[in-house]
Amino acid sequence: MQAQELVLRDVHVPPAPSWWPPASGWWLAAGAIALVFAILWWVGRQRRRRKLAWQKLFDDACGDAAPAAQVAAISELLRRAARRVNKQADSLQSEDWLRLLDGQKQKAFSEGVGRMLLEGGYRREVPTDEFAAAKALARVRFLELMAGRK
């Protein structure tokens, strides 16, 4: 047996695994990430649509009526929106109603142009600059209340 020498051959290492195609776990992770992004996009789209619908509701309610009628419509819309945050919003009157509209951060309704909501619907003449400021303030607060923010 010594006559036969053992023939040694090099050890062949298998080729390194390629990076493509990835393992099935990576496909699942990529699919989960894509699903999360799709859900976030859909939720954002729904929120934008809802906000646009609320803006349209506010603008349609005001319409082209006289400022006094618009003040009454704005007050009614704000009462409806306030019910989403506070169930007793219907029963609030005068200063209590304005304090609810003020929320937690400002006093624009009880001490500012928002006071027009109390008597503006009963006036014959409503100053246009004061009305425009009150309408813009009411629109912002309406959108906040519809979104459920106090």
**Residue 1: per-residue pLDDT:** 52
- What pLDDT is attached to residue 38? 98
**pLDDT surpasses 90 at 86:** no
Contacts of 123 (CB under 8 A, 6+ apart): 68
From CA 43, how far away is CA 7, in angstroms rounded?
A: 69
pLDDT digits (tens, 9 = 90+) for 2-54: 667 778 888 899 998 888 888 899 999 999 999 999 999 999 999 999 999 99
Identity of residue 68:
A
Closest CA to 142 of 88, 61, 42: 61
pLDDT for 65 equals 81
Q: Report which of 105, 109, 106, 128 is spatially closest to residue 117, judged by C-alpha positions.
A: 109
CA distances from 112 to 38, 69, 135 (A): 43, 20, 12
Mean pLDDT value across residues 81-101:
83
> Where residue 111 falls among pLDDT bands split at 50, 70, 90?
confident
Task: Give the global pTM.
Answer: 0.73
What's residue 127's pLDDT? 80
Most confident of 16-25, 46-55, 67-76, 79-88: 46-55
Stretch among 23-27, 62-66, 69-73 having the lowest mean pLDDT: 62-66
| Domain residue ranges of the chain, discontinuous segments joined by + | 52-146
Joined together, the tokens standing for residue 99 give 């304090």
Q: How far is Cα 90 from Cα 97, in angstroms, rounded to an integer?
A: 9
